[in-house]
Chain A
Amino acid sequence: MALIDLSKKEIHCKIVYYGPGRCGKTTNLLNVHSSMADNARGKMLTIETKGDRTLFFDLLPLNLGTIRGFNIRIQLYTVPGQVMYAATRKLVLKGADGLVFVADPLQVRRERNIESLEDLRTNLLEYGLKLEDMPLVIQYNKRDLVDTPIPTLTVEELEADLNSVFKVKTFEASAVTGMGVFETLREISKQTVRYVTNKHLLHETK
């Protein structure tokens, strides 16, 4: 649920990074956090369980400048990917305005990706939202593993598994090195701000 504050001229949007456990959602946020200037980023909040897993969520507030006099503030959230944290995952999704689905290219995780995308669709439906109506970007993470002996899925395989229906923009990325992280963020921010302003602000101010 976007928050448009007409008195302060601010638009707050919530973007959620979704995906199976250990696909690199938190790493995406950490990379954004370390690369952005202090004045554009807020404090990164992370609640982790032992062993680097996200227990509840990570939060990174960003300030993306102004559009038509409105300050654009974006909050990036991640969900816990592990299957057992279903309730928290749904909770974080509440009020999301844009989504990044981070896919894990390891061959052994192929099913997990598909399950996680289906889980996302189901959870959104419970909030009365359709995945196909929302701003969505898919990120094929861990592309740095392609040249290693670790068996990975090709982009074509990932496309067939995850993007054959939605046909949304996809980005190859390596959250560890930073490749593709900002491209993903830029695209989803653009789509989300457009979605929120078209939905509310434009017809409100007409």
Chain B
Amino acid sequence: MQDFILTAEILEKARNAIESSLIQAGVRTALLIDGAGNILSNCGRDADDIDAISLAALAAANLGATSQIAKLIGEEDFSLLFHKGKNGNIHFGRIGDELILITIFGEDVSLGLVRCRVTDLSETLLQIFEG
């Protein structure tokens, strides 16, 4: 496991990629975190209203827990998680081994679109962070 050192350039590139993909698609918030629960990037119109630190810690724990569930049924890991609410939904996607992209969106955005965008974005983000 490596330590992350975020340069302004990497962060800017990552933010631009997220903005032009997910935020353009109409999602409320997109949060990029690492497996230990550190926040790397937080964008979207609701970004300042949510408790991002708690969300990141719980999301990292959530994916950690589901990866144990995966092992119990003979899977290596699950690459995505989705929770549906009344007005809001949340999608967690693994980006490589270390990163997690959390997307929060309402009923106005379809899950299929979010899944497509997250899949495309994960390639871009991996290139940005791993060079």
Q: Could you tell me which A residues sit within 8 Å of B by CB distance?
A: 1-7, 12, 14, 42-43, 45, 56-57, 59, 61, 75, 77, 87-88, 91-92, 94-95, 127-128, 199-200, 204
**Number of chain B interface residues as a range:** 20 to 34
Asked if A75 meets B61 with Cβ closer than 8 Å, knowing A6-B5, A7-B6, A200-B5, the reply is no
Residues of chain B contacted by A95 (CB below 8 angstroms): 1, 34-38
B53 touches A6 (CB 8 A): no
A45 touches B11 (CB 8 A): no
What is the CA–CA distance of A29 and B7 in the complex, to the nearest angstrom? 32
Give the residue name and chain of the A residue nearest to B10 (CB).
Answer: A7
A14 touches B5 (CB 8 A): no
Residues of chain A contacted by B5 (CB below 8 angstroms): 4, 6, 200, 204
A3 touches B61 (CB 8 A): no
Give the residue name and chain of the B residue nearest to A127 (CB).
Answer: B1
Give the residue name and chain of the B residue nearest to A12 (CB).
Answer: B38
What is the CA–CA distance of A63 and B34 in the complex, to the nearest angstrom? 20
Query: Is there a chain A Cβ closer than 8 Å to B58's Cβ?
Result: yes
In chain B, positions 4-58 with a C-beta closer than 8 Å to chain A are 4-8, 11-12, 34-38, 40, 51, 53-54, 57-58
Given A14-B36, A56-B65, A59-B37, output 20 extra A-B contacts at Cβ < 8 Å: A2-B3, A3-B34, A4-B3, A4-B4, A6-B5, A14-B37, A14-B38, A42-B53, A45-B57, A45-B58, A59-B54, A61-B53, A88-B61, A91-B64, A92-B61, A94-B64, A95-B34, A127-B1, A128-B1, A200-B3
